Amino acid sequence: MHYVSSGQGEAVLLIHGLFGNLDNLKNLGSVLQQQHQVIRVDVPNHGLSEHWDNMDYPQLADAMIDVLDDLHIKQVHVVGHSMGGKIAMAMALLHPERIKSLVIADIAPVAYSPRHQTVFAGLTSLVLNSDTTRKSALAHLINAGIDEPTSQFLLKNLQRTDSGFEWKMNLTGLIESYDRIIGWDLPLTGNDHFDKPALFIRGGESNYVTAEHRDEIMRQFPQASAKTLNGTGHWLHAQKPEIFNRIVSEFIEQNQG
């Protein structure tokens, strides 16, 4: 799996969300690496990491543990956004001895109903050939009903080839795995929980973490605390980076040792 490591100190692992790559949390990483070893990963089927036909959270959690083993890191603080937050929570529930603390950005440990059909339809209907340009690709996604900021974000996955463009991400694998990505199916008993510090940060204008998720969060993460970033949606770390970075940094500092 592709990753970058920088800085020294207690290790912090940063995990991006669906359709992202390791640059998504680069701003946070730049702040944290002043005090910490920071590892940013490309999740499988994203960025420069390997393509899997299928992926689920136990597999993804194991892949992250492999990165820690590769770097000889025994314990780590983990920060994850959206799908990356679910990977972080899976690591904590399945490998609790490896995790010091969790920061989960705008996602809950629950199954969600599908909400990316428009995105997948826009991506799969985009013809990539020698006539394709970034401008025409952007127009296509916007015409497919995807807002411009999201379209710009998705197009970061395009890479140029000799004959035009191709996707860095494994779009077919993501579509095949989508039910498991929005689901929350772990090999756990009813009593499994992570009994160490966990901070859930939600966007004030996002509908990903709501009051109805509170019981499940507290059942699985009984030490959880919560913060809301007003004036942000699902992309809270990009919309209010200074506040987000400060909250995360302070939480990790409080839970060192």
pLDDT in tens, 53-73: 999 999 999 999 999 999 999
Provide the token pair at 108: 């809950």
In whole angstroms, give the CA distance from residue 85 to residue 63.
15
Q: For position 190, what pLDDT does the model report?
A: 67
DSSP H/E element including 94: helix 83-94
What lies within 8 Å, CB to CB, of 85 at 6+ separation is 15, 17, 104, 105, 106, 107
Which candidate in 16, 46, 234, 237 is catalytic? 234
116 is catalytic: no
* Percent of the chain at pLDDT exceeding 70: 100
Return the closest-CA partner of residue 201 out of 91, 84, 46, 63. 84
Q: Is 113 helix (H, G, I), strand (E, B) or coil?
A: coil
Contact of 79 with 92, CB cutoff 8 Å:
no
pLDDT score of 160: 87
Catalytic residue, candidates 49, 82, 151, 249: 82
Catalytic site includes residue 177: no
Task: Collect the ranges in the chain with pLDDT lower than 50.
Answer: none
Residue-range domains of the chain with CATH:
3-112+184-254 (3.40.50.1820), 117-176 (no CATH)
When computed from its CA atoms, the radius of gyration of the chain, rounded to whole angstroms, is 18
| 9 burial level (CB within 10 Å; 0-12, 13-18, 19+) | middle
